[in-house]
Amino acid sequence: MNKQAIVKTTLKRLLENNSLSDITVQKLCKESGINRQTFYYHYTDIEDVLNDYFLNEKIDGLDKANSWPELVHAILMYARVNRQLILKTLKSKASGAVESFFFNNLYHKGKKFIETQYGSTLEKNDISEVAKLMCDSISREMARLLSNPSELSIPAIEENISKTFDGVLDLICVNKQNKKGKKA
């Protein structure tokens, strides 16, 4: 494992039991077994480590997902397993890294599902819009899961997202039919 991977893994472990403000570069270096000079060669501060973490992080099962429910399940399981890391990063200057991480993973994979399933009936703009709406919906459900995981079950979240997806597609199809009717 390279030095950067060691630092990121150590930071993730430290965040399980510490707030981000309690973790100093000195503490992170000591726990990682690297010196400060090595740390500063790769990073400017701890938020930079978090940015790097989410820039290069992979979600288990995402590449094998063949449907929205499988995609949502992979994302939600990742969020549940990495709850402390995500919550604490969201409260830091690196919060944008988490948001970009989830959006990019969801958007690109989700867009492929929509193109495959509805590409013949939806225009490219509609496909992009549905993918964006689904990303927003999943993000809201994830925030609820992360803030109080005992209240929500992953199957319930998956069902809510599935209903949202069906509703969005219905709205788009109705809008398309209304537009066609006005042209005729």
pLDDT tens by residue, 52-84 = 999 988 898 888 888 777 888 888 888 888 888
- Summarize pLDDT for 98-124 with one digit per residue, the tens: 888 888 888 888 788 777 777 777 777
184 pLDDT more than 60 = no
Q: pLDDT at position 91, please?
A: 83
Of 118, 153, 111, nearest to 133 (Cα)?
111
Q: pLDDT at position 176, please?
A: 64
* Mean per-residue pLDDT over the chain, rounded: 82
Task: Output the DSSP codes for 121-168.
Answer: TS-HHHHHHHHHHHHHHHHHHHHHHHH-TTT--HHHHHHHHHHHHHHH
Q: pLDDT at position 106, please?
A: 81
Q: pLDDT at position 18, please?
A: 92
d(Cα 161, Cα 68) in Å, to the nearest integer? 9
